[in-house]
Amino acid sequence: MATSTADMLHKEYWDLTYISGPLIFLKNGERFPTGAILNVHMPSGEVRQGQVLEATKSHAVIQMLQGTVGLDVEGTSVSLKDTAARVACTEDMIGRRFNGTGVPIDGLPPVVPEKEVEIAGSAINPVSRDAPNDFIETGVSAIDGFNTLVRGQKLPIFLGSGLPGNELANMIVQNSGTKGDDTPFVVVFGAMGITARETQYFLRAFEEGGKGSRVVAFINQADDPAIERLFTPRCALTVAEYLAFEKDYQVLVILTDMTNYCEALRQISSAREEIPGRRGYPGYMYTDLSTIYERAGRIRGKKGSITQIPMLAMPDDDITHPIPDLTGYITEGQIVLSRGLNRQGIFPPVDLLPCLSRLMNNGIGKGKTRDDHREWANQLYAAYAQGQNIKKLMAIVGEDALTDLDRKYLHFSNHFEHEMLDQGFARRSIDDTMDLGWKLLGLLPREELTRVNRNTLDRYYVPFGDDGKKTSFGL
């Protein structure tokens, strides 16, 4: 095209032909590049924003950020705002609150950007990546001991509605400062479609924990336009990348709730009449989600890092639902919350068996946590799984049919839930977690502990003294 960008900025076009759901169609597709941000001037004088999704000779498809109510084909005009969606980046954003597209909502003046960066981002060259290997102590036994979080990792929390996922996320934020490390720490919080109650919870919790001034928040609330949700995580991650890789911060990104993001994606897809994939979600949802999750990591030669904790509500507690399913295929593990444990009053109610941290091995062992960590975790996992199996068996055949050994496993597994998993809001150091684990293993006979090397057993294993009827270890 001969027209330069500068010319196009001033031109208004009266091309609107078709409006459907969140989309509008323009007659001529040759005027704007795909991805461009347009100003849409409504008859009422209001100006909204839209983004070019697709361009053909005969038409262009625009998704409207603030919805299409009030638009008409006659009195509405469009003009180019920017050739791509961008967000302002500066260190002054730390401590500030923005809406889902980066407009301040804390009553303070707009930030003076050091630079404006395209929110779409580019893929990190895989050879530039540094393998994540620094242990992050979250103070939560179920994570530190069994599903260790490592700097540069993306580890989602899968929760069911009504489960205390926000509280767990807050606990991680409060505790995972970088100890013994002088690189500064900052939290980037991206919220998509969360309720005012949740927004208030997070903001208050960050303040009360003294982390308020370390948080950059992008908040799209449940009553904000749904299409904005597609921009929120990308704005958050663009600022996170700027802080991590240009300003050397250790950045923890919390994204909640990814389910709302995916619904917005589905909304656009169905408005475009695309062939739906599973449960109506678009076939490219995996690719789309990966452009969010893959923005976690570390880069060789850079001090900063991006660790991501996306949170998502599993519809009907179903882990095979497309949203948790595709997320699990991209992220490096998952933390799953359990309704059963929650009802027993155990906090955090982490359902240990389906949890996983793929990068755990990089973050544990000598010099990081303790050299017996791997075996310890394997053994506790195996024993707890065995205990859970026996619990199921007992429900069918009754307690009398169990062998002595079965009872020991059962006993172990009950204590494991009440002593290890249930820790309330108190922070527990990794050493305390591991010592507690060894005490619990003392409930089982030594010859059952085949996941642990003999030398390790000699060093740490102490059989529990009496008949095991004690209910507390006096910790």
Count Cβ atoms below 10 Å from residue 33 Cβ, excluding itself.
15
Shortest reach from residue 291's CB to other proteins, in Å:
5
Shortest reach from residue 394's CB to other proteins, in Å:
9
Instruction: Give the span between the Cα atoms of 48 and 65, in whole angstroms.
Output: 7
Could you give the angle at the alpha carbon of 219 between the alpha carbons of 217 and 225, nearest 5°? 160
Instruction: Give the span between the Cα atoms of 446 and 408, in whole angstroms.
Output: 12
C-beta of 166 vs 369, nearer to other proteins: 369
Shortest reach from residue 1's CB to other proteins, in Å:
5
Instruction: Give the span between the Cα atoms of 31 and 39, in whole angstroms.
Output: 14
C-beta of 129 vs 204, nearer to other proteins: 129
C-beta of 302 vs 470, nearer to other proteins: 302
| 212 within 8 A of 206, measured Cβ to Cβ | yes
Shortest reach from residue 110's CB to other proteins, in Å:
26
- Report the amino acid identity of residue 268: I
Compute the residue count for the chain: 475
Shortest reach from residue 459's CB to other proteins, in Å:
16
Shortest reach from residue 171's CB to other proteins, in Å:
23
C-beta of 320 vs 472, nearer to other proteins: 320
Shortest reach from residue 183's CB to other proteins, in Å:
18
Shortest reach from residue 134's CB to other proteins, in Å:
13
What is the radius of gyration, based on Cα positions, of the chain?
26
**Residue 280 three-state SS:** helix
C-beta of 282 vs 442, nearer to other proteins: 282
Shortest reach from residue 405's CB to other proteins, in Å:
9
C-beta of 214 vs 321, nearer to other proteins: 321
Cis peptide before 257 (omega within 30 of 0): yes
C-beta of 54 vs 116, nearer to other proteins: 54
C-beta of 399 vs 431, nearer to other proteins: 399
Element spanning 342, H or E: helix 339-343
- DSSP letters, 366-414, are TTTS-TTHHHHHHHHHHHHHHHHHHHHHHHHH-GGG--HHHHHHHHHHH
- The pair of structure tokens assigned to 335 is 């933390």
CA–CA distances in Å: residue 221 to residues 194, 200, 256, 331, 408: 5, 11, 11, 25, 49
Shortest reach from residue 355's CB to other proteins, in Å:
9
| 53 within 8 A of 272, measured Cβ to Cβ | yes
C-beta of 112 vs 396, nearer to other proteins: 396
Report which DSSP code applies to 417: I
Helix pair angle (232-245, 258-271), 10° resolution: 130
**Residue 421 three-state SS:** helix
Instruction: Give the span between the Cα atoms of 167 and 152, in whole angstroms.
Output: 22
- The pair of structure tokens assigned to 133 is 């290997």
C-beta of 221 vs 388, nearer to other proteins: 388
